[in-house]
Structure 1
Amino acid sequence: MNKNLFVGIDFSKETFDAAILKVSEESSIDLKIIGNEQFKNDVPGCKRFVKWLNKTCALAGDYSSVLVGGEDTGNYSTTLPKQLYVLGIDCSLQNAYSIKCGSGKIVRDKTDKMDAEKIAYYFYRFRDQIRLYKPLSKDMESLERLYSYRYGQVRERARLKCQIKEYKHILKSEPNDETLKFMIQRLEKQERFLKREIKAIEAKMVEIIKANEELNEIHKCLLSVPGIGKITSLLLIVVTRGFTRFDNPKQLACFLGVSPHPNQSGTSVQNGNHRSWFADPYFASLLHMAALSASRFNSKFIDYKKKLKSKGKPHLLIMNNIKNKLLTVAFTIATRRTKFYSDYDAKRA
């Protein structure tokens, strides 16, 4: 990637800070911050940013030497990249934790201006490894928003169910307490409403997928796998962005927290391989239920489970291995657009 202008962006709700790092044409180690500015995080603010970039760097509309990079902060970091993509300006969004770990130095001060500069240096240092931003399709953007909304409703319903259970337990020792009865009645009404709301969200997601020929084909292929139901299929499509986000099933397994990683240092730390906790706990629990179903109703997974049990492997390790195999099969089927059959082998398909 032949770039000599790296623009670091630090996003927040109302504004974003920009810092321009210039690389000297004579020496690649001669680096200098040539501009810092703050802009409103809206469309007019993005237009002001482009004008400022043109003026500060004397680009005259030629953006081939520019790379704009920032942290992926969800909704706050969508407006600017979309505007830059339309203008043909290369942009990339990276995980905030990756940028923090890749700073290469101990930082004691923290301001938006300093963060923008740190991000600019990060994108210069890892310029050969980044993936350029490409906006999601309208359908995929809608599915991601619905997934996020559903996740919030599911958590809220779980909280209400727990609260109802606790109040009913107290009611056993205080059966004449009218206040407790009233509270339980109101909470149960809220819980029933959320149950209907979650079903409505899922129906809307299915409607969007069925209207999209490519996503609908992937959905049908995933549903053919014993152990993968409607919800698991929907969420796999969203998390993988239609199976375009990851290059192989190992990357997907790592992202979802089921891939084993070593934990070893010298002679004193020998903890073996364990799954990482850098993952979505909700999806991890959903995968566990899918793995349980597969280990009961999928003949290949039933045989695999028996094989590991005969070797004396612990139950949770067996289930984690089944999750990995299930993701491998799902990834292969979805990317190759083939349906599962009893003698299916992901490696030979």
Structure 2
Amino acid sequence: MKKLALTQTLYPYIVGVDVSKESIDVCMIDTAQDRCESKVLTNTKEGYMKLKQWMKRLGNDVDNQTLFCMEHTGIYTRNLVKYLLSRGCKVWMESSLHIKRSMGLVRGKTDKIDAERIAMFAYTHQKEAKLVTMTHATLDRLQYLMRTRVRLMKGLQSQEKAINEMEYFDKKAGREMRMMCRQALEGLNKSLAKVEAKMLELVSIDREVRALYELITSVKSVGKVLAIDLIVYTHGFTRMLDGRKLACYCGVAPFEYRSGTSIHSPSGTSQFANKILKSHLHMASMNAIRCHQELREYYLRKVEEGKGKMSAINAVRNKLLHRIVAVVKRGTPYVEKLDKK
């Protein structure tokens, strides 16, 4: 690792961790002594204990004086994060894209090098650290049910699309395919219904989550899936309690794209977004345009003003998000007559 640049440090020890299914590569920076040490351990409870022992031999008590930084890698980080939080350590989960883009041009890639790069990123940007807190048990379970639902939906849609295409070109073969896949389709639909029922059950037995759910679904056209998505991704609205930030996260906030006199494109949304949340928000917006007179008139007014149809739909998405944030902040359900639009 290159020599550390002089910077004001907030933590005596900064640790970069590259997490995989079976192992964790660790790079610890001792900011006082301007040194770094690396270690490879198993991604198990035994590995975490060896991590603590190794760091203690290097003078680190593995407590709130240590900042751990790692990328989001789904369930692979789950047990490690819980262990570190139980010891009072500071944990920072950052997107791999953000870390990669902050490095500039780099060459070569191994797990050890990745851990060193994450450690350097955390050392350089430690003032910007977004620390993780203990996960709400209900939110944790809802998150995994939500991901299960997404996988089931993809499987169902993929199979239905293949059958529909076959029926379009060869009706007889399409009917045969549908008959052969009938049990699979019925099974996917039943599993999907069970997952959604379990999600609603978890919402109903948790008072805090239920209160948020009822507030969000009081907004017209916001259904159970979008409501639970928002609760999970905002950690119960403890994050992104701002309409613009939430719109940016969902990929519906418009941004300008211009430079000098030659580049002047229309405002558009960014591709860096939560695609699942954006998809569910889009479905809610389309339902709003079809079924609710007020939002349909709002959409048509935007089109008459010269906006493209997708831009007008995006305006409806933003309106729904801002209404959701408003009712959560206010703590009272949405009432249509209170809206000036």
**TM-score w.r.t. length of structure 1:** 0.89
Which of 226, 230, 233 is the matching residue for 1:232?
A: 226
State the identity as a percent: 28
Q: Is the 8 A contact 2:65 2:89 kept in 1?
A: no
1:228 and 1:346 map into 2 onto residues whose CA distance is 19
- Post-superposition Cα deviations, 1:80-109, rounded to whole Å, max 9, x if no partner, equal 111111111112111111111112x42111
Alignment of 1:173-212 (within 5 A): 175=172, 182-212=176-206
SS state at 1:78 partner: helix
2:86 and 2:283 map into 1 onto residues whose CA distance is 42
Q: Is the 8 A contact 1:243 1:335 kept in 2?
A: no
- Post-superposition Cα deviations, 1:137-163, rounded to whole Å, max 9, x if no partner, equal 111110000000000000000001011
Give the C-alpha shift of residue 327 in structure 1.
0.5
Which letter maps to 2:35? Answer: K
Q: Is the 8 A contact 2:230 2:277 kept in 1?
A: no
Classify 1:109/1:62 alpha carbon distance in 2 versus 1 (closer, same or farther; 3 Å).
closer
Which residue does the alignment assign to 2:148? 149
Which residue does the alignment assign to 1:4? 12
Which residue does the alignment assign to 1:74? 74
2:299 and 2:80 map into 1 onto residues whose CA distance is 49
Classify 1:310/1:170 alpha carbon distance in 2 versus 1 (closer, same or farther; 3 Å).
closer
Which residue does the alignment assign to 2:124? 125
Which residue does the alignment assign to 2:170? 171
Alignment of 1:21-32 (within 5 A): 21-24=29-32, 31-32=34-35
Which residue does the alignment assign to 1:83? 83
Give the C-alpha shift of residue 199 in structure 1.
1.2
Q: Is the 8 A contact 1:167 1:184 kept in 2?
A: no
Classify 1:22/1:267 alpha carbon distance in 2 versus 1 (closer, same or farther; 3 Å).
farther
Indicate yes or no: 2:315 matched with 1:321.
yes
Which residue does the alignment assign to 1:116? 115
Which residue does the alignment assign to 1:254? 248
1:51 and 1:299 map into 2 onto residues whose CA distance is 64
- Post-superposition Cα deviations, 1:220-261, rounded to whole Å, max 9, x if no partner, equal 112211111222222222222221231312111111110112
Q: Is the 8 A contact 2:14 2:30 kept in 1?
A: yes
Give the C-alpha shift of residue 346 in structure 1.
9.3
Classify 1:121/1:303 alpha carbon distance in 2 versus 1 (closer, same or farther; 3 Å).
same
Which letter maps to 2:39? Answer: E
Classify 1:243/1:10 alpha carbon distance in 2 versus 1 (closer, same or farther; 3 Å).
same
Q: Is the 8 A contact 2:14 2:119 kept in 1?
A: yes
Which residue does the alignment assign to 1:245? 239
How many residues are paired up?
333
Give the C-alpha shift of residue 11 in structure 1.
0.6
Which residue does the alignment assign to 2:135? 136
Which residue does the alignment assign to 1:39? 41
Give the C-alpha shift of residue 290 in structure 1.
1.2
Which residue does the alignment assign to 2:6? none
SS state at 1:128 partner: helix
SS state at 1:91 partner: strand
Which residue does the alignment assign to 1:28? none
Q: Is the 8 A contact 2:62 2:89 kept in 1?
A: no
Which letter maps to 1:253? Answer: A
1:258 and 1:286 map into 2 onto residues whose CA distance is 12
Which residue does the alignment assign to 2:5? none
1:64 and 1:285 map into 2 onto residues whose CA distance is 39
Give the C-alpha shift of residue 312 in structure 1.
2.0
Give the C-alpha shift of residue 288 in structure 1.
1.9
Which residue does the alignment assign to 1:20? 28
Give the C-alpha shift of residue 341 in structure 1.
0.8
SS state at 1:97 partner: helix
SS state at 1:110 partner: coil
Classify 1:166/1:300 alpha carbon distance in 2 versus 1 (closer, same or farther; 3 Å).
closer
1:222 and 1:106 map into 2 onto residues whose CA distance is 43
**TM-score w.r.t. length of structure 2:** 0.91
1:46 and 1:327 map into 2 onto residues whose CA distance is 41
Which letter maps to 1:96? Answer: S
Could you tell me which runs of 5 or more consecutive residues in structure 1 were left unpaired when the two chains were aligned. 26-30
SS state at 2:336 partner: coil
SS state at 1:247 partner: coil
2:333 and 2:230 map into 1 onto residues whose CA distance is 16
Indicate yes or no: 2:335 matched with 1:341.
yes
Which is worse superposed, 84-93 or 272-281?
272-281
SS state at 2:67 partner: strand
Which letter maps to 1:48? Answer: K
Give the C-alpha shift of residue 181 in structure 1.
5.1
1:171 and 1:311 map into 2 onto residues whose CA distance is 45
SS state at 2:128 partner: coil
